[in-house]
Structure 1
Amino acid sequence: MSAVTSRLSKHQHKMLLSLLGHVRLHLLYKASIHGFTAVAFHNRCDKQGPTVIVAYNAAGFVFGAYTSKDYTQSEQNVSDEEAFLYSINAEGTKTLRVAGIGRECAFTDGKNGPDYGALVFLCENKPEIKSAPGTRFNFQNAELHGEDLTLTEFEVYRVEGFGDLLAKPWRNVQWTAERKQQLMQAIQSYKPDIKTVHQARVLLVGPVGAGKSSFFNSINSLFRGNMTSQAIAGTAGRSVTSQFRTYTIKAGKGGGAIPLILCDTMGLEEKDDAGLDIEDLVNIYKGHIKDRYQFSPSNPLLADAPGYKKKVTLNDRIHCVVYVVDTCKVSLLSQKMLDKFAAIRKKTNQLGIPQILLMTKVDEACPLVAEDLKNVYRSVYIQKKARDLSESLGIPLSFVLPLKNYNEELELNQDTDILLLTAVEQMLNYADSFFEDQEPSDQLELYRSNDPLCPNLINSN
């Protein structure tokens, strides 16, 4: 007899995991094989611990219910604060998670098919559902299942954890006040290897809502000593940042600038005519785009346009590129977005610019990290997401840095600061690699542009 296999596509599987967290799915029951009956369901799904129902219809929706409780046919109403209904739309572009109505039970554990009130499965032992929004769960029929109540398939999976924490962290971090001060001092005293370059220029690149602007605000707050919000950050579906911005960071209120410029851009979007254009990105790399240039995705900047800087030096060029990705959405990166990253990586490599990757929102992605940020390098889930990003984007794992930005806090936190400062330290180290890789002719060109006597000196040699 052939093995029973999941009907979930790879993409649907990733989207479902984005709702469930750091788990794996074990297929228990498949109605087209085992029968569209309550008896078949209970024979295979009772006393299995946390499970997720995955129902399919002809409209292309994948939807169902998760519970952390056992099915036991107890004929009781079961309360489960972790239970939820969900849907993946027909296009596979959006997930919906519907929490239960407060203080109401999650499901009725009877001898019939799974009964969540708002959704009842295997009605009368048929491939059908009953849908009654507002009964224990509120939703709209159109967005949950497209009002198609006939099932083409019905599956149930046991939800298994990967394990909580690694016995040893996969990176060692000193979570001390002394370490924080060491990092701050090292960053403030940094000097590029090329004497005429005074600040490392680092560009942040990533999808909309990944946390690029929030990263700058977090670093600025850290060195300022209190929360700041200079860069506009948000969670809109389209990029909040519409200009190319270069930000300096000051050590304390009224203090001197640290030797780092963080450059912010529009977010990347899947559509070719939306988000940051790759040709504009190349112009940023080469230093041709002025601060506060207003992006136009449909019209990349031309050499004769007002925002184009013709005369550039090594000071104007980007010395390190930092990709920023939301850890919660690693599994949801579409093939189009991965292709866009690959195209950017190719251009960046051609220009010899070092690259690293920041994984933001690690606390939102893993409850164990939310409880204690020091668990970031012991979390099995965070390590897995770092490896997934490394493989899918072609970036070595040693270049991937998990961190948390400041979003809702009113006060600074030492553990958050240490992860942020460690990321900045790596940016400066990689900028050094860029400076060391410059040809002598590039450095002489820099001197020529800054010293009127330099051309004569060069010509005389």
Structure 2
Amino acid sequence: MQKAKVRKVSITSNLKEEKRKQLCGLLGNVELTLLYKASVHGYQASAFHQQCDNQGPTILVAYNRSGYIFGGYTSVDYAQTGQHITDEDTFLFSFQGKIPVCIKINSGCNARYDDTGGPNFGKQLYFCYNNQPVVYNQVRDEYHCKGSIKMIADKAFSFNPATLYGNDTQLTECEVYKVEEHPHVFAEEKPWRNVLWTAKAELMEMIRNHKPLMKSVSRVRILMIGPVGAGKSSFFNSINSIFTGHVTTKAMSGSAGTSLTVQFRTYPVKDGREGKPLPFVLCDTMGLEEQSGAGLDIEDISSILQGHIPDCYKFNPMAPFQPDEQKASRPASLQEKIHCVVYVIDTTKISLMSDKLQEKLASIRRKVNSLGIAQIVLMTKVDEACPLVEENLQSLYVSSYIKSKVQEVSSRLGVPVSCVLPVKNYSQELELELNCDVLLLTALQQMLRFADDYFDDIRSVEDNSK
């Protein structure tokens, strides 16, 4: 009877609507239902478990006296099993500025210990510790071995308490929300961007007949840049598939944790298997990674942009490319340089983009801007991000969720919304699909147009200097 009375308590969330939306953005198309509020149900572990056990995925949101809002997500039930829980989806978060910053669980570590105590993450960060309104960070674990105490150095989460919660351990509130997939996705009454879904043949013809504005350039060189697994190589394969007439996998692609592309590759595309080369080249690079000494080096990107790196050059993350003296003494021709840069971003991971990766992309953008090169953002995996789009790709531009993701990536990368193009690459399909082709070709057409804007600027500078 007591349990029923507790569950009937009317509780109001402390989470502001803007922050609720941002947390939902971290998790995909979900909604949050408040299960537990410590100031109402009590800070005791028993009260937490009474409200939160066997509820599926949950997100904990804590508030402290210094105004910090922070917490963690777990996709595995609380159930008081006494077991160590493995959960690769677990993460900690903290609102720093306007956006929540995520800290993913370290590889190979347990997400938490599912005991009768209060919620913990990695058996490292404890909330409502000892049934009190406090958060406790266990700085180190220790175990006894033959009479001596040894320290366990590895931790499930790497974070600075000063950054995560301002070193203020006193909580003013602790809430736990049930995370559920949204039962429906809001569709807007009118498309927020117009696409002619029957225009595949016309798009292909325009691309075939495209002539770069500069006569010295026979083919537009488009550089693909993005995190590991975002879909750079898959975009080339998809474009190649459309013009070949069936799905192809010429470039190596996949979902490995580290970049499958280890060389700088330039991929011309033919109009049919035996056809003539089309007026563009897609240039693929090693994926960007968060940590230094891994993934594509920013100095290498600078060399690629200026036309110094040859096809099939193998990247070395520990040592940037060094052109030989003869090549370094002469500038590359316009034909050899990059004319359009495309940032490839996984739609499902936009909200999980780390500060380090965002700063890397910002550094690259500053370099590209200084060279005046045209830039576009390609948002891949839109079908995985939104059930409405998964059901029907033509729903892409009436999906309010995809619209919000376009706006988010525009804000994070500092590019206009008009430069963000959502697409779906071919990944597991065996046959071509019209709607998919139209989105991909529309994106490619925009890249060629943006490159012409770059050529137009160069031509204007040359005319003014005469």
What is the alpha-carbon distance in structure 2 between the residues aligned to residue 85 and residue 32 of structure 1? 30
Q: Equivalent residue for 1:93?
A: 104
Q: For 2:72, give the aligned amino acid.
A: V
Which shows bigger deviation, 208-217 or 23-32? 23-32
Q: Equivalent residue for 1:270?
A: 290
Does residue 340 of structure 2 align to residue 320 of structure 1?
yes
Cα deviation for residue 195 of structure 1 reads 1.6
Q: Equivalent residue for 1:296?
A: 316
Change (3 A) 1:258 1:92: same
What is the alpha-carbon distance in structure 2 between the residues aligned to residue 31 and residue 241 of structure 1? 49
Cα deviation for residue 433 of structure 1 reads 0.3
Which shows bigger deviation, 24-33 or 297-306? 24-33
What is the alpha-carbon distance in structure 2 between the residues aligned to residue 410 and residue 383 of structure 1? 29
Q: If the length of structure 2 is used for normalisation, what is the TM-score?
A: 0.71
Cα deviation for residue 174 of structure 1 reads 1.3
Q: Equivalent residue for 1:199?
A: 219
Does residue 183 of structure 2 align to residue 175 of structure 1?
no
Aligned residue among 179, 188, 196 for 1:166: 188
Change (3 A) 1:163 1:361: closer
What is the alpha-carbon distance in structure 2 between the residues aligned to residue 324 and residue 427 of structure 1? 13
Give CA-to-partner distance per residue, 1:93-151, whole Å, 9 cap, x none: 2499xxxxxxxxxxxxxxxxxxxxx9978x5xx6369xxxxxxxxxxxxxx74498985
- Indicate if the aligned counterparts of 1:51 and 1:158 stay in contact, CA closer than 8 A: yes
Q: Equivalent residue for 1:364?
A: 384
Q: Equivalent residue for 2:445?
A: 425
Does residue 224 of structure 2 align to residue 233 of structure 1?
no
- Indicate if the aligned counterparts of 1:207 and 1:268 stay in contact, CA closer than 8 A: yes
Cα deviation for residue 62 of structure 1 reads 3.2
Change (3 A) 1:31 1:417: same
Among all aligned residue pairs of Structure 1 and Structure 2, give the percentage whose two residues are the same amino acid.
46
- Indicate if the aligned counterparts of 2:218 and 2:279 stay in contact, CA closer than 8 A: yes
Unmatched segments (≥5 aa) in structure 2: 1-11, 63-69, 78-86, 94-101, 130-134, 136-173
What is the alpha-carbon distance in structure 2 between the residues aligned to residue 368 and residue 309 of structure 1? 54
- Indicate if the aligned counterparts of 1:288 and 1:310 stay in contact, CA closer than 8 A: no
What is the alpha-carbon distance in structure 1 between the residues aligned to residue 257 and residue 345 of structure 2? 15
Q: Equivalent residue for 1:53?
A: 58
Cα deviation for residue 338 of structure 1 reads 0.8
- Indicate if the aligned counterparts of 1:180 and 1:421 stay in contact, CA closer than 8 A: yes
Does residue 346 of structure 2 align to residue 335 of structure 1?
no
What is the alpha-carbon distance in structure 1 between the residues aligned to residue 436 and residue 345 of structure 2? 17
Change (3 A) 1:297 1:4: same
- Residue 321 of structure 2 aligns to a residue in which SS? coil
Does residue 30 of structure 2 align to residue 23 of structure 1?
yes
Instruction: Supply the RMSD in Å over aligned alpha carbons.
Output: 3.8
Change (3 A) 1:30 1:198: same
What is the alpha-carbon distance in structure 1 between the residues aligned to residue 461 and residue 383 of structure 2? 46
Give CA-to-partner distance per residue, 1:1-39, whole Å, 9 cap, x none: xx96459xx8x99677444x2235464532255314699
Give CA-to-partner distance per residue, 1:316-370, whole Å, 9 cap, x none: 0111100000001001100111111111111100000010000000111111111
- Indicate if the aligned counterparts of 1:355 and 1:399 stay in contact, CA closer than 8 A: yes
What is the alpha-carbon distance in structure 1 between the residues aligned to residue 76 and residue 61 of structure 2? 15
Q: For 1:166, give the aligned amino acid.
A: E
- Indicate if the aligned counterparts of 1:270 and 1:337 stay in contact, CA closer than 8 A: yes
5 Å matches for 1:235-254? 235-254=255-274
Unmatched segments (≥5 aa) in structure 1: 68-83, 97-117, 130-143, 446-460
Q: For 2:103, give the aligned amino acid.
A: G
What is the alpha-carbon distance in structure 2 between the residues aligned to residue 280 and residue 56 of structure 1? 41
Does residue 113 of structure 2 align to residue 127 of structure 1?
no
Cα deviation for residue 234 of structure 1 reads 1.6
What is the alpha-carbon distance in structure 2 between the residues aligned to residue 333 and residue 17 of structure 1? 11
Which shows bigger deviation, 228-237 or 399-408? 228-237
- Residue 218 of structure 2 aligns to a residue in which SS? coil
What is the alpha-carbon distance in structure 1 between the residues aligned to residue 434 and residue 274 of structure 2? 23
What is the alpha-carbon distance in structure 1 between the residues aligned to residue 322 and residue 122 of structure 2? 47
Aligned residue among 236, 241, 247 for 1:221: 241
Give CA-to-partner distance per residue, 1:23-71, whole Å, 9 cap, x none: 354645322553146996799899xxx98533599xx98344589xxxx
Q: If the length of structure 1 is used for normalisation, what is the TM-score?
A: 0.72
What is the alpha-carbon distance in structure 2 between the residues aligned to residue 150 and residue 347 of structure 1? 44
Q: For 1:92, give the aligned amino acid.
A: I
- Residue 419 of structure 1 aligns to a residue in which SS? helix
Aligned residue among 212, 222, 225 for 2:232: 212
